[in-house]
Amino acid sequence: MNGGATMHELSLAHDMTRIIGNALGRKVHLDRVNITIGPLSGISPESLRFCFTEVAKIEGFGEPELVINLTRAKLICLDCDTEYEAKDFYQGCPGCGSISRRILSGREFTVDSVELEEGND
């Protein structure tokens, strides 16, 4: 993680404003945008926050606060069948320490809801 903006997050930020614009049918100033990111999605939350703030302003959505719900990944160990949660790729099985596992969840990226700025309705 370099802490800066990458093309990946910039492109995701553009996707988000397009999704929100389509859902609302117009461009309005937003107060808050709630999203969910899985730890195995490859998305840097801070980088996305930076990009989204810039893109939202440029695209006419004001200066919404981006609220990120960061989930934990669910994995199942292929060596001992333990199901466990992890916050990143590097966390091994708590039962046996193995890192061979199947990913059950943790790659999600969704725009959950938006809140409009008051006076926009």
Interface with Zn ion by CB under 5 A: which range of 15-23, 49-57, 67-75, 95-103? 95-103
Residues 13 to 32: which contact Zn ion by CB under 5 A?
none
Mind spelling out the 3-state secondary structure of the chain? CCCCCCHHHHHHHHHHHHHHHHHHCCCCCEEEEEEEECCCCCCCHHHHHHHHHHHHHHCCCCCCEEEEEECCEEEEECCCCCEEEECCCCCCCCCCCCCCEEEEECCCEEEEEEEECCCCC
If the CB atoms of residues 19 and 96 are measured against Zn ion, the closer one turns out to be: 96
Q: Which is nearer to Zn ion, 42 or 97 (CB)?
A: 97
Near Zn ion in 53-92, by CB under 5 A? 77, 79-80, 82
Interacting residues toward Zn ion by CB under 5 A? 77, 79-80, 82, 93, 95-96, 98
